Each structure stands twice: as structure tokens, then as C-alpha cells.
Amino acid sequence: MFAIYLECSKCGEKVDRGQKAQLCPKCAAPLFVRYDLDKVKAAFSPKKLSDRPYNLWRYAELLPIENEANVVSLGEVVTPLIALNQLGARLGFEALLLKDEGLNQGGTFKSRGAALGVSRAKELGVRAFAMPTNGNAGAAWALYGAKAGIRAHIVMPKDAPYITRLECAIAGADLYLVDGLISDAGRIVGKAIAKNGWYDASTLKEPYRIEGKKTMAIEIVEQLGWQTPDVIVYPTGGGVGLIGIYKALLELRAIGVIKTLPRLVAAQSSGCDPIVRAYEAGKKVSEFRDNSRTIAFGINVPKPIGDFLILEAIEKSNGTAIAVSDATILRAQSELACAEGLFVCPEGAAALAAAYDLLQRGWIRPDEKVVLLNTGNGLKYPETLNVNPPLLGKDDEIPV
């Protein structure tokens, strides 16, 4: 285990990694796990991975678990990196790829964050945690929490995808709905934590979820033969995925596994685009996006706590931020299914729509290798689609 301490992402304050740490004790910014990268460099080599299990735990040198016995696993898999040959050719991309996070347990990449977050919480002796969620994170943490024997207290907007309620409930979590947004759920959770002393598992308020999400980037690099793509497009809500991808890329570069960074793109819905607005205005932080609303529920985050980190990842990687309308998202979702047979979530469809927009603007060149993150399975969002096939009587014929 090569983690050495936690470090504030803003002021650099160091915190003992053995603590049940939350935000920076000095400035309340998110804490990051720091590794002794010289030692990782000496210990890690792609060749060593060949006899390890094919899941995120194979990157142990860059993960924060001290004792393997504390690993809480629900059978993680390396998700496929699929070439979108037909759709790519039609749209004008020569190398368009999609990493399909819909194949994770629970159907979204949130299970990566929960795998690391819950495992480390168990290692630190956490007995109960609480979190606000737009649905998928709460579901993943409830399920991993159940396996770890840790009590989960979860608050989600009443409009969050219905299935995520069921996942929390079936796992025995203590679940509440709120008539509001994730920011409202966050306020309620904050009060409950102050009163009950639960571990705060909110986005970026504990340092380990991001360590799970960053494995998306390590997998992409390994799946491309330890090469980086030119561009990675990520549907951005709270931004942990993007911040994690950037963190992993810096770590891989520091240990000499990669040399160049892909340009990172934050895709948002025009109904909730605080990062795009901040990026376009040249600001370092975002402003609360009033009346935020989008069918891509996982990216409906009006004011991400890690906004400055998202903007930094975009800027330092020469990336960009771009918003697409919900109508465009729905069209992209259907095109992916019709051309490639992939039923992606609306958030994943937003990444495709954003990439296409950037191609048309010339920001992406046709010959560049572009990786889209499909963050979840379309099966989790039946309520965003509406189809009414003709109803036949038992003796009717198919009209031709």
C-alpha cells in the first residue's frame, strides 16, 4: 500500500490518512489521497497485471486499501471499450469509442466509487454513513454498504429515477425523499450528520469515492495498450468522475506509464450547465444554476462542490466544457441504440451529442481518437422514454 497521507486539493494541508477524514480541517475543500509515486513507479508495471483479477482491484498500487481483507466486492468487472464504427463513420469520426459503464453492478459507474468508498469506510471502522444523491450513488452505496454491514442513511429528490429508490430500499437502507434538488437533500443530510455523528459520504466530502472513479481512466489507458486517447468526453454533474480521471492520468504520467494527457471535455445539459457557464466566463468557480432541470438526472447538479477542480482539469488538459439540449440528448440516445445496439443512459447520450457538436466546430478533428463515457445503463431510466406500439387483438394481423 503506497498511500501516504491525505492532502487538501485547495490549500495543501496534510491530514493523517488513518482518520475518518472529511473535508479539509483548515479550508473545507475536498481532500485527495496522495501516494508515494516514486515507490509506486518502482513497484508497478503493466506486465505485472497479467496474472491479476480482471477488475479495478488490479490497480492496487494506486488504491488506498491497506488490508485486502477489507475489500468489499460485488464482483466488479472491467467495462468494455466499444468501437462505435457505424455511428462514428456516419457522424464523421474515424475512431469513436464508448466505455460502457452500464455493465457495472447496479448499472452505473457509481459502483466504482462505492467499491472504494465503502471498503475504506469499513477499514476505518465506520458503522453508519449518510449521503444526498440523485439516485445512482445512493443505490450503489446502499448495496455495497449492505455487504459491508454499514448502515446507510440516504436522501434523494422525489424525482430521482424510480429504480434507484428500489435499490436503496431492497438493500435495507434508511431512505428519504425530498421535494427538491440534490442541494436540498444535501442540506438535510448535513443537519442529520451534525446531530448523529454519521460518516458523511456526500460527493467529495470523503476522499475515497474518487479513488474508485479514477479507475475508469486507468482501464481506458490499459484497454488502449497503455496509450491515451486524444479526447475523453464525460457527462459532468458533481464532476467526481472527471476529477478522478484527471487525477489518475496525472498519477499514470508521474509513474511513467503515459506521456501525454487526453483533452478532457465536460458535457452538460443546457438545463443544468454551471460548469459550462463558468468555463465560458473564464471563472475558476461556478455559480448556483437556478431552476436547473434535465432528463439526464445524474448531471442535474446546480452547484458542484468540486467545481474548481473540474474547471482545473478541463483547463490544464486543454479541454473544454459544452452543453447540449435535452432534445439533442434524446436524439443521440436513440441514434446509439439504432446504429450500435447500445441502450445508454441520457447522461451517456449527452457525451455523444457533445462530441458531435465539437467535431462540427472543428474542436475535435475527424482523425482523433475520442472516448465517450457512457456512465450508466439505459435500462435504469424507463421513465425518460415514451413509446406506444399499436395494440393488437389476439386474432389481428400485423398491418403491412
Ligand X SMILES: *Cc1c(COP(=O)(O)O)cnc(C)c1O
Computed from CA positions of residues 268, 274, 278, 281, in that sequence, does the dihedral angle turn out positive or negative?
positive
Does the footprint of ligand X cover residue 375 (CB under 6 A)?
yes
How far are the Cα atoms of 58, 65, 325, 338, 374 from residue 331, in angstroms, in the given order?
37, 42, 10, 10, 15
Rule CB under 6 A: say whether 138 interacts with ligand X.
no
CA distance 367 to 94: 5
Query: 298 contacts which partner out of Zn ion, ligand X, none, CB within 5 to 8 A by kind?
Result: ligand X
Name the phi and psi angles at 18, rounded to 5.
Answer: -80, -5
Q: How far apart are CA 144 and CA 347, in angstroms?
A: 23
Which range, of 55-63, 90-98, 145-153, 239-247, touches ligand X by CB under 6 A? 239-247
Of 6-14, 223-231, 233-241, 250-258, the segment contacting ligand X by CB under 6 A is: 233-241
Sites for Zn ion among residues 16-55 (CB under 5 A): 24, 26-27, 29
Q: Given the rule CB under 6 A, which of 57-65, 184-192, 229-237, 269-277 is the region that contacts ligand X?
A: 229-237
Q: Least separation, in Å, of the C-beta of 35 and Zn ion?
A: 19
The answer to whether 215 contacts ligand X (rule: CB under 6 A) is no
The separation between CA 322 and the C-alpha centre of its own chain, rounded to angstroms, equals 17
Nearer CB in complex with ligand X: 64/235: 235
- Is residue 11 at the binding interface for Zn ion, with CB under 5 A as the rule? yes
Q: Could you tell which of Zn ion, ligand X, none binds residue 136, using a CB distance below 5 to 8 A set by kind?
A: ligand X
Nearer to Zn ion, 11 or 166 (CB): 11
List the one residue out of 313, 79, 13, 302 whose CA is nearest residue 212.
79
* Rounded Cα distance, 278 and 287, in Å: 7
Give the C-alpha separation, 308 to 208, whole Å. Answer: 19
**Partner whose footprint covers residue 107, from Zn ion, ligand X, none (CB < 5 to 8 Å by kind):** none
Which residues make beta-bridge pairs with 151?
128
What is the distance between the alpha carbons of residues 335 and 382, in angstroms, rounded to a whole number?
A: 17
x-marked contacts with Zn ion along 259-298 as a string, rule CB under 5 A:
----------------------------------------
CB of 140 within 8 A of CB of 108? yes
Nearest CA-CA partner of 18 in 5, 31, 9: 5
Residue 26 touches which member of Zn ion, ligand X, none, C-beta under 5-8 Å by kind: Zn ion
For ligand X, what does the binding mask look like between residues 91 and 110, x meaning CB under 6 A? -----------------x-x
**Sign of torsion, CA 378 384 389 393?**
positive
Question: In angstroms, what is the minimal distance from the CB of 16 to ligand X?
Answer: 27
Q: Which does 238 bind (CB under 5 to 8 A by kind): ligand X, Zn ion, none?
A: ligand X
Closest CA to 39 of 255, 228, 194, 331: 255
Closest CB to ligand X among residues 61, 273: 273
Query: For residue 98, what is the enclosing H or E element?
Result: strand 95-100
Least distance to ligand X from the beta carbon of 367, Å?
28
Work out how close the CB of 36 gets to ligand X at its nearest, in angstroms, rounded to a whole number. Answer: 27
207 binds, among Zn ion, ligand X, none (CB under 5 to 8 A by kind): none
What's the min distance (Å) between Cβ of 337 and Zn ion?
A: 45
Alpha-carbon radius of gyration of the chain: 20
- The one among 88, 237, 274, 302 contacting ligand X by CB under 6 A: 237
Tell me which residue of 359, 229, 200, 373 sits closest to 299, measured CA to CA: 373
CA of residue 78 relative to chain centroid, distance: 15
- Is residue 219 part of the contact set for ligand X (CB under 6 A)? no
Supply the DSSP symbol for 283. -
Interface residues toward Zn ion, by CB under 5 A: 8, 10-11, 13, 24, 26-27, 29
Interface residues toward ligand X, by CB under 6 A: 108, 110, 136-137, 235-241, 298-299, 345, 347, 375-376
